Amino acid sequence: MEGKIALVTGAAGGIGEAVVRSLGEREVTVAAVDKDEARLRATVAKLTADGFHVEAFPADVTNSIDVDAVVDDVERRLGPLDYLVNAAGVLRLSEARKLTDEDWAFTFAVNTTGVFFVSRAVVNRMVPRGHGALVTVASNAAGTARVEMAAYAASKAAATMFTKCLGLEVAKYGIRCNLVAPGSTETPMLSSMWKDAEGARKASIEGVASAYRVGIPLQRLARPENVAQAVVFLLSDQASHITMHDLTVDGGAALGV
């Protein structure tokens, strides 16, 4: 992977930041994209201080004009993109019947439409070159019903099928499109769901019978780097004959379904 160029969305923290670091460790040049400019620049400063070739590109993935402009800027400044990782994501918790219009629209704007806008912009540039690899970070909730997560689960399910359909269409151009579906991972998004200091154990690891959550058979949360390692594998030549695949990284929480 040395010398390749990647664009990673949601790069200011969590899984996105871990993906940037994992790619940097393999001497990939990374365009780090996030809407939170201050946090993004702080993250990139930390990564560059560690010796990685990372540059910050603030952008809103829900705005197609912004997305097209930033992809143009990335290729002009860094060179033709080899990899794309769609890691930007948001979570709004609510019972399905109590979701507001804004909850639903915002969740889909980032988790689904953002994946569409960025994937379209990057893949249209990859097609004439005849190579490329894309990974969308989805969720095990895309295939497992969760209480108070209807908008999130539905948006991730849509992003999952979009990525698979895209992969089917662009396989003839040598472009691979895969997914990684994390479960409970040590990120601010997960901790926002906890009600107290025991949230990791009570809500995620042990499970909640009343919410139909079985817990995590491996008895631990994933770390962002666990998910990042799966992403990097699917981008790499080790996965050169894998496309339209959904790799679940959840410690067994979805029971392999």
Tell me if 50 is assigned to some domain: yes
Q: What is the mean pLDDT of the chain?
A: 95
Range of the domain at 62: 5-186+222-249
Summarised one tens digit per residue, pLDDT across range 139-177 is 999 999 999 999 999 999 999 999 999 999 999 999 999
At position 122, the amino acid (one-letter code) is: V
Query: Residue 53 in 3-state DSSP?
Result: coil
Helix axes 14-25, 37-49, angle to 10 degrees: 30
Residues that are catalytic: 152
How far apart are alpha carbons 137 and 146 in whole angstroms? 18
Q: What pLDDT is attached to residue 192?
A: 75
| 201 within domain boundaries | no
Contacts of residue 235, defined as CB under 8 A and 6 or more positions apart, other chains included, come to 1, 6, 23, 83, 85, 133, 135
- Give 196's pLDDT tier (boundaries 50, 70, 90): low
> What's the CA gap between 209 and 203, in Å, rounded?
10
Amino acid at 5: I
Q: Are 177 and 163 in contact (CB under 8 A)?
A: yes
235-253 confidence digits (pLDDT tens): 999 999 999 999 999 999 9
- Note the pLDDT tens digit of each residue in 37-92: 999 999 999 999 999 999 999 999 999 999 999 999 999 999 999 999 999 999 99
Query: Is residue 255 in some structural domain?
Result: no
Residue 55 lies in a domain: yes
Note the pLDDT of residue 188: 78
Residue 198 lies in a domain: no
Two structure tokens written together for 68: 């097209």
What confidence tens digit (pLDDT) does each residue in 13-34 have? Answer: 999 999 999 999 999 999 999 9
**DSSP H/E element including 174:** none
End-to-end CA distance of the chain: 32
Is residue 209 in a domain?
no
Q: Which residue has the tokens 């496309």?
A: 243
CATH code, domain carrying 238:
3.40.50.720
In the numeric block, the tokens 């008895």 are attached to 219
Over 70: is that where the pLDDT of 198 sits?
no
Least confident of 12-26, 122-136, 190-204: 190-204
In degrees, rounded to 5, the angle at the alpha carbon of residue 222 between the alpha carbons of residues 214 and 7 is 125
- Whether residue 31 contacts residue 78, with contact meaning beta carbons closer than 8 Å, is answered with yes
200: confidence class by pLDDT, cuts 50, 70, 90:
low
Task: State the total domains in the chain.
Answer: 1
Domain annotation covers residue 196: no
In-domain check, residue 202:
no
CB atoms within 10 A of CB 135: 28
